[in-house]
DNA sequence: ATTAAAAGATGAGCAAAGTCATATTTTAAA
DNA sequence: TTTAAAATATGACTTTGCTCATCTTTTAAT
């Protein structure tokens, strides 16, 4: 089923780099995009592929992951509605260095490559928003580097849970992470073995910091989790 | 001693984001910048500081490093002539999250903040170049993440040496890295203890992969070093 | 030139985290 | 619904790499 979302009515757009575009602009943008849906697990684009357009997430959750030297997956970014996807390769004139895979059923629009590159340079507010988006992603990546370099696995697993919270938020109960990742995916984000991720999650579960129910993770004690993550704030 | 470099005659500019600016533009740019020199070890800007301008490196070598949760330094980027510095905070409207420290005597120009932000949005070629610059830095950071997550310390130390080569190149002998870092700095880049960095460098030295003379590192066997780094190419 | 301080080197012991094996549970497919 | 496959869980063992201690060398300051 292919929904054709209209940019003018798109809720996700409000939080996106396209938030400042006016009604006329939205009409044109809408004519230069098409919509696709991806089932959970489906590949949106893959490593070494050539970017043909800019992906703009309408709804759903997507992971950006690359394959390490020994074939192990590394999750680099987590993406949600309103986020743009595949901009790095597009802007660099590069091939993708990541796979984009739907974590749940997702609805994604593709903006024509040349049109996007044109308006990105013409529309100052859009340009500014893209600058900010890349800069923020760079900051996030560099924080990940510090964490991987200097924290132990326990701290990193705790930090990851808080990161998932910051990215996707909670469900209605205000406690349960609204993203469901496998233990292996958590490990692939944290930079550890699946077994270690499992062990530490069980430990947090035993310590009543979190509550595990299948893939659902409820954060019972955010303060203790923050301390466990060795975060100051 | 303060040299006033003229942008029109600046060699570093050729490899910078400002490479496409025409003669008239350079004249104006030149009027919106001032030059400063920094001695080895001097701080150019520091964590939590507010960006007042864009730093543009004329010559020298600079490290961008942040302080981890337990006070340990993490080197995030290595910067050379032609590179811009402090653009992330400037563009994000953020404070610096890194310290910039001269690795050797360096000459740096500061472009007025508002002027830079203005031309960054007006000049399409400049805008495109900045997009590319941030995107490339993001890619580098994400490669660093994969390395930290998935490689052991031996591989990472080898990879770091190749990265130093890629960034700063060799001296005239075509073998000696043209950057001199302390063992501690290498460790702070690699994400390991100083002792481990020392041990592995000695090992590579014994295995005739490299040759150590004080802080000078000569790469004797690049192929073996590449293999040791677990890199394919 | 002398001395203090910093950086580099190296060994021993220990702790963290990875691997491997196996059991159990959950999920998906037939 | 049954069965196979995948995911989760847990224990035992091993390895990697960190910490601590000590010593040497280099660098910088007086």
- pLDDT tens figures, A80-130: 999 999 999 998 889 999 999 999 999 999 999 999 999 999 999 999 999
Q: Do B150 and A68 touch (CB under 8 A)?
A: yes
Q: Which nucleotides of C are covered by protein (CB under 7 A)?
A: 7-12, 16-21, 26-27
Q: Do A149 and B148 touch (CB under 8 A)?
A: yes
Straight-line distance from CA B126 to C1' D27, in Å? 44
State mean pLDDT over B180-195.
98
B182 strand D contact, CB < 7 Å: no
Three-state SS sequence of A66-78: EECCCCCEEEEEE
State mean pLDDT over A202-222.
97
A212 strand D contact, CB < 7 Å: yes
Q: What is the pLDDT of residue A15?
A: 92
DSSP code of residue A51: P
- Alpha-carbon Rg for chain B in angstroms: 19
SS3 B164: helix
SS3 A134: helix
pLDDT at A77 over 90: yes
Tell me the residue ranges of DSSP E strands in A89-227: 99-102, 106-112, 210-213, 216-219
Do the beta carbons of residue A55 and residue A85 sit within 8 Å? yes
Do the beta carbons of residue A100 and residue A47 sit within 8 Å? no
Please list, in sequence order, all residues whose beta carbon lies within 8 angstroms of the beta carbon of residue A56, skipping any fewer than 6 positions away.
A12, A16, A18, A33, A83, A84, A85, A108, A109, A110, A111
State mean pLDDT over B102-126.
96
pLDDT at B131 over 80: yes
Q: Which nucleotides of D are covered by protein (CB under 7 A)?
A: 7-12, 16-21, 26-27
Do the beta carbons of residue B194 and residue B127 sit within 8 Å? no
Between the alpha carbon of residue A85 and those of residues A55, A79, B151, the distances in Å are 5, 8, 27
Q: What is the pLDDT of residue B76?
A: 98
Phi, psi of B176 (to 5 degrees): -90, 130
Do the beta carbons of residue A33 and residue A109 sit within 8 Å? yes
pLDDT at A46 over 60: yes
pLDDT range class, residue B4, cuts 50, 70, 90: confident
Straight-line distance from CA B89 to C1' D8, in Å? 43
Do the beta carbons of residue B173 and residue B218 sit within 8 Å? yes
Q: Do A136 and B92 touch (CB under 8 A)?
A: yes
Q: What is the pLDDT of residue A233?
A: 58
Q: What is the pLDDT of residue B3?
A: 62
Q: What is the pLDDT of residue B5?
A: 79
Q: Do A70 and B131 touch (CB under 8 A)?
A: no
The CB-side HSE value for A208 (13 A sphere, CA atoms) comes to 0
Average pLDDT, chain A: 95
Q: Do B94 and A142 touch (CB under 8 A)?
A: no
SS3 A52: coil
Please list, in sequence order, all residues whose beta carbon lies within 8 angstroms of the beta carbon of residue B148, skipping any fewer than 6 positions away.
A145, A148, A149, A191, B156, B191
A184 strand D contact, CB < 7 Å: yes
Q: Do B69 and A231 touch (CB under 8 A)?
A: yes
The span from the CA of B171 to the CA of B218, in Å, is 9
Give the B-side interface with A, CB within 8 Å: 66, 68-70, 72, 74, 76, 87-88, 91-94, 97-98, 120-121, 124, 127-128, 130-132, 134-139, 141-142, 144-146, 148-151, 155, 191, 230-232
Between the alpha carbon of residue A214 and those of residues A40, A202, B54, B154, the distances in Å are 17, 12, 49, 37
In A, minimum Cα distance to B126 occurs at A121
Sequence length of chain A is: 233
State mean pLDDT over A140-167.
98
Handedness of CA A150, A155, A161, A162 (dihedral sign): negative
The span from the CA of B104 to the CA of B137, in Å, is 22
Q: Tell me, rounded to whole angstroms, the distance of Cα A28 from its chain centroid.
A: 27
Q: Helices B153-168 and B124-150 sit at what angle, rounded to 10 degrees?
A: 160
The CB-side HSE value for A24 (13 A sphere, CA atoms) comes to 1
SS3 B159: helix
B184 strand C contact, CB < 7 Å: yes
State mean pLDDT over B26-34.
96
pLDDT range class, residue A232, cuts 50, 70, 90: confident
Straight-line distance from CA A8 to C1' C8, in Å? 64
pTM of the model: 0.96
Q: What is the pLDDT of residue B1?
A: 47
The span from the CA of B17 to the CA of B56, in Å, is 10
Q: Do A127 and B127 touch (CB under 8 A)?
A: yes
pLDDT in tens, B143-187: 999 999 999 999 999 999 999 999 999 999 999 999 999 999 999
State mean pLDDT over B18-37.
96
Exposure string (b/e) for B37-51, b if CB count within 10 Å is 16 or more? bbeeeeebbeeebeb
**B8 closest CA partner among B16, B17, B21:** B21
For residue B36, is it left (φ>0), alpha (ψ between -120 and 50) or beta? beta
Residues forming a β-bridge with B61: B80
Do the beta carbons of residue A102 and residue B149 sit within 8 Å? no
Do the beta carbons of residue A104 and residue A41 sit within 8 Å? no
User: Among A48-52, B5-9, B81-85, B161-165, where is mean pLDDT lowest?
Assistant: B5-9
DSSP code of residue A192: S
Q: In terms of C-beta density within 10 A (0-12 exposed, 13-18 middle, 19 or more buried), how is residue A37 classed?
A: middle
Find the nucleotide nearest A196 (Cα to C1′).
Answer: C17
Find the nucleotide nearest B202 (Cα to C1′).
Answer: C9
The span from the CA of A68 to the CA of B212, in Å, is 30
pLDDT at A152 over 70: yes
Q: What is the pLDDT of residue B92?
A: 86
Average pLDDT, chain B: 95
């Amino acid at each position: 089923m292919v929904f054709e979302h209209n940019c003018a009515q798109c809720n996700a757009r409000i939080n996106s780099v396209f938030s400042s575009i006016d009604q006329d602009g939205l009409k044109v943008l809408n004519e230069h995009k098409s919509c696709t849906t991806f089932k959970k697990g489906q590949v949106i684009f893959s490593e070494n592929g050539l970017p043909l357009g800019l992906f703009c997430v309408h709804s759903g959750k997507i992971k950006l992951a690359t394959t390490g030297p020994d074939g192990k997956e590394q999750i680099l970014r987590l993406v949600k509605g309103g986020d743009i996807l595949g901009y790095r390769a597009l802007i660099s004139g590069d091939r993708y260095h990541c796979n984009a895979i739907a974590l749940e059923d997702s609805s994604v629009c593709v903006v024509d490559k040349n049109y996007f590159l044109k308006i990105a340079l013409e529309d100052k507010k859009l340009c500014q928003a893209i600058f900010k988006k890349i800069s923020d992603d760079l900051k996030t990546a560099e924080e990940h580097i510090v964490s991987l370099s200097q924290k132990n696995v326990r701290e990193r697993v705790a930090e990851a849970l808080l990161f998932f919270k910051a990215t996707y938020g909670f469900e209605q109960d205000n406690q349960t992470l609204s993203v469901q990742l496998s233990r292996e995916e958590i490990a692939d984000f944290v930079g550890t073995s699946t077994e270690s991720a499992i062990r530490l999650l069980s430990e947090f579960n035993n310590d009543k910091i979190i509550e595990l129910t299948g893939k659902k993770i409820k954060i019972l004690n955010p303060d203790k989790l923050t301390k466990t993550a060795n975060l100051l704030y």
